[in-house]
Amino acid sequence: MSVDIPDRPRRATAGFMLRHPARLIALGFGSGLSPVAPGTVGTLWAWMSYLVLERVLSDGQWAVLLALSLPVGWWACTRCAQHMATADPGAIVWDEVVAFWAVLWLVMPTGLLGQAVAFGLFRLFDAAKPGPVGWADRLFKLKPGGRIGWAQGFGILFDDLVAALCTLLVIAAWHRWIA
């Protein structure tokens, strides 16, 4: 499937999303089209889809789904960013989806409060980008005059995976020293 790369940034719309499978995936099946806080909406979509899928997937199947979601997401995020002519568009939310799926897979079973705490921590780390998350976010940034490539696609995923790791470390520390 050949797609022209635009010379100026393109906005994500439903029509844009539906014209290429990479866009459908990268834009979180439409959750990234939210005009307000698409990363939060994408994470909410991840949470709801996790709760639906956990009823039918075993731990082994979740491991396979997560393992496949990373290279497919790398491809989808790279292609969608290229199609939008923006290195890390806010509408791309597959990074939030796969990272938060991993968080939930590792903290479950837990009640609604535990899930909400995981959601809040993940969003805090992803949005504020403290310490290692900020480092991960800067690592693959596009250099001035550069072309959007596989490194930027990986970078879209990488900082969210680091945010997920930070979330899990805080939860583990809380369980170890407080609970």
List the domain boundaries for the chain: 14-177
User: Residue 50 and residue 115: Cα distance in Å, rounded?
Assistant: 11
Question: Are 137 and 75 a contacting pair, CB within 8 Å?
Answer: no
Residue 116: helix, strand or coil by DSSP?
helix
Q: Provide the pLDDT for residue 144.
A: 87
- Average pLDDT by stretches of 10, the chain with 179 residues: 72 97 98 98 98 97 98 98 96 98 97 97 98 97 92 98 98 89
Summarised one tens digit per residue, pLDDT across range 9-49 is 999 999 999 999 999 999 999 999 999 999 999 999 999 99
Q: Model-level pTM?
A: 0.94
Q: Provide the pLDDT for residue 43.
A: 98
User: Residue 26 and residue 4: Cα distance in Å, rounded?
Assistant: 18
Q: Is 155 buried (19+), middle (13-18) or exposed (0-12) by CB count in 10 A?
A: buried
